[in-house]
Amino acid sequence: MPRYALQIEYDGGPFAGWQRQAQGQPSVQGAIEAALARLEPGPHTIAAAGRTDAGVHATAQVAHADLTRDWDPFRLASALNAHLRPDPVAILACARVPDDLHARFSATGRRYTFRLVARRAPVTHDKGLVWQVLNRLDLDAMRAGAAELIGNHDFTTFRSTLCQAKSPVKTLDRIEIGEHPYPGGVEYRFDLAARSFLHNQVRSIVGTLERVGAGAWTPQDVRAALEARNRAACGPVSPPQGLYLVGVSYPVDPFS
């Protein structure tokens, strides 16, 4: 069966997450599998690089699908996009890949961006796409707090109690925080990179760093929370709507 890699963009707002839901709630996986069934009747199961939560978005999710027909990748992407309407899901690229490429297990890195807007007026155009706070944050303090988390650590404090990962130890390669102009305020973008992440790790980190930026925590408090290895020591978990999966790396780029 030919295997195809799909690069996918979606607005996570209408979905209960990436993963197909037993209760019949809408999911991104379910939408794409239903579109595949329109092209090749029968059940389909696709695997993704990351199982994003309800409300989380993606600009470059990667999934693979095994099909029976030998599709031209461009035509397959076009046909899927036609059948995905009106869901806010788009196939950006499609490629025939080796049978041993697995979207999740072959990935060597993942990148997330979190968008946080600080302004007094309600957000209109980006409603559901950013986390809004009212007051500006201390960028230098947040960067200092983020520096405490770089490297190989036990991230028990920063993972959900429902996380199914075998180990809480992860290596966080990068956290970059930038400040950008935004109408009536400012936007902070948190860019994080690692081989893999724990459940709720990014949102837990961003929520904690927001407290540092607001002056409620110090950068040293972030280090103490990390060393506590206790979920109760974490700051508030940021809401999902500001989070985007923006890139997945492989030994060879399947879309190059």
Q: Say which amino acid occupies 200.
A: N
Residue 16, sorted as left (phi over 0), alpha (psi -120 to 50) or beta, turns out to be alpha
Token digits of residue 17: 């997450």
> Is 53 tagged catalytic?
yes
Distance CA 98, CA 107 (A): 14
User: Strand, coil or helix: what is 88?
Assistant: coil
Which residue in the list 11, 53, 100, 173 is annotated as catalytic? 53
In whole angstroms, what is the distance from residue 100 CA to residue 112 CA? 25
Contact 32, 84 (CB under 8 A): yes
φ, ψ of residue 172 to 5 degrees: the values are: -90, 110
- The end-to-end CA distance of the chain, in Å, is 22
DSSP state of 57: E
Catalytic residues: 53
